[in-house]
Amino acid sequence: MPDVATTATRIGCGAGFAGDRFEPALDLLERGNLDYLVLECLAERTIAAGTLRRRTDPQGGYDPFLERRLAPLLPVAAARGVKLVTNLGAADPTAGGEAAARLARRLGLDLAIAVVTGDDVSASLDIDRPALEDGLPLGDHGRLVSAHAYLGADAVKTALDAGADLVITGRVADPSLFVGCLAHHRGWDLADTALAAHGTLVGHLLECAGQVTGGYFADPPLSEVPGLAHLGFPLAEVTDTEAVITKLPGTGGRIDAATVAEQLAYEIGDPSCYPTPDVRADFTAVTVENLGGDRVKVAGARGSRAPDDLKVSVGYQDGYRCEAEIDYAGTGARRRAELAGAIVRERTAGLFRQFHEDLLGVDPVRQPDGQPLPGSGRCRLSLTARANDADTAARLGEEVTALYTNGPAGGGGVRVTTEPVLGVLSSTVGRAAATVSVAVARSGA
């Protein structure tokens, strides 16, 4: 363990959501001189979708990109002594841990892999508990398919304290993934609300990866961000009282007071009371100081005792959605698209829970050489319908497809998608509802 009184902990974020880019994480490992790399890949709908996958594939609850993300990282992390922490376990961290162990063996690596479970509280959830969004009982919204409590940093710290090289979790609060690393590395007592709030500040700034390096900030011409095609992901140099947010030299994006301040305010609600499983963080006195060279120093987070309850994310079946589109091109394209929409509205009147109609673009038709055809136009009719059952929702696609020969002239390029809708609600559960377990085992080479 380093002398934390004089040495900063270096922690990076290699993913900010399930569909994030792959290469920045490897770049951070290879050039960032890191102690920890966190991959935060779990959104509310992501974990509900994993629960649905398990119904058809008992081993399908973890993130489908787990092997692809970890394969290039594990050898480098092992060689450099970097600890990896990730919520790629999604709806089934046990299966995710098993998949990671198989991958490690294929790579010839013997790693200590920790699996954190206990976030799945669906078996004990009281469906009469009110949803935070509207106060109605959870069960009134539809058939519940998942319920996952947001665990805290203590589970991650426990895994690292036990010697884990790789930690696979399910639903852990985003900043808590980072707080757990910092608490382990720096010997923090998580009951110290000042330290927990400081770690939460760092985790909150890093958790969305490329957002803080300018990805979410870009809005030309108001805010220009260079090199977005090769956006660098962030890392932090953390002491017990302050942190420097930065990125690797030569990568795209920017880190300055503006990008950091924007991420600081992202999704926190009341900045004087941002509740996590670890602390109620107060960011109102946080200072954001430009150091130049894509380096920003932050400090000043305060904290008070964590909430008694845990937030729980609840997924429920909210009917089915059909999206259907058809193109019209040439003279009068918009008028024909409008007529097509009117035909479908008339034939499906009263059929759907919701119905939306949009006209997309009025661009010219392109010739084979890519040049616009003079005097031409193109308009795409986009329709969306919601229904309680799949067959009813699919009627929209059937009606749009029928426009080929029954609607205005010249329709083409029909695309139809019908899929179940996953609704997401929030509620709370007592901490005792989440029976947290940390299991550490070696993968064996």
Taking the C-alpha atoms of residue 290 and residue 296, their distance in angstroms, rounded to an integer, is 5
The answer to whether residues 93 and 169 touch, using CB atoms and an 8 Å cutoff, is yes
The percentage of the chain sitting over the pLDDT mark of 70, rounded to a whole number, equals 98
pLDDT at 262: 97
The per-residue pLDDT of the chain, averaged, comes to 95
The answer to whether residues 126 and 314 touch, using CB atoms and an 8 Å cutoff, is no
Taking the C-alpha atoms of residue 186 and residue 3, their distance in angstroms, rounded to an integer, is 9
- In this structure, the dihedral spanned by the alpha carbons of residues 251, 257, 258 and 261, taken in order and rounded to 10 degrees, is 110
pLDDT at 43: 86
Taking the C-alpha atoms of residue 122 and residue 171, their distance in angstroms, rounded to an integer, is 13
pLDDT at 318: 93
Residue 1 pLDDT more than 60?
no
Taking the C-alpha atoms of residue 172 and residue 177, their distance in angstroms, rounded to an integer, is 7
Among candidate residues 297, 269, 294, the one with its CA nearest the CA of residue 284: 269
Taking the C-alpha atoms of residue 377 and residue 196, their distance in angstroms, rounded to an integer, is 58
The answer to whether residues 234 and 259 touch, using CB atoms and an 8 Å cutoff, is no
pLDDT at 364: 64
Cβ-in-10-Å burial (0-12, 13-18, 19+) of 21 comes to middle
Among candidate residues 437, 423, 438, 431, the one with its CA nearest the CA of residue 124: 431
- Locate 44 and state its tokens: 């509310």
| CATH 3.30.70.1150 placement within the chain | 318-424
Report helix angle 174-186 to 153-161, nearest 10. Answer: 40
* Residue showing tokens 């959605």: 321
Minimum mean pLDDT range among 75-84, 368-377, 421-430: 368-377
Which tens digit of pLDDT belongs to each residue from 220-249? 999 999 999 999 999 999 999 999 999 999
The answer to whether residues 222 and 262 touch, using CB atoms and an 8 Å cutoff, is no
- Locate 331 and state its tokens: 């003279």
Which tens digit of pLDDT belongs to each residue from 259-311? 999 999 999 999 999 999 999 999 999 999 999 999 999 999 999 999 999 99
Which tens digit of pLDDT belongs to each residue from 306-329? 999 999 999 999 999 999 999 998
Residue 362 pLDDT more than 80?
no
CA angle 57, 58, 64 (to 5 degrees): 60
Taking the C-alpha atoms of residue 268 and residue 305, their distance in angstroms, rounded to an integer, is 17
Cβ-in-10-Å burial (0-12, 13-18, 19+) of 249 comes to exposed
The answer to whether residues 407 and 395 touch, using CB atoms and an 8 Å cutoff, is no
Taking the C-alpha atoms of residue 65 and residue 48, their distance in angstroms, rounded to an integer, is 16
pLDDT at 140: 94
| Span between the terminal Cα atoms of the chain, in Å | 26
Which tens digit of pLDDT belongs to each residue from 26-55? 999 999 999 999 999 998 888 888 888 888
pLDDT at 232: 98
Does domain 318-424 sit in CATH 3.20.20.70? Answer: no
pLDDT at 363: 60
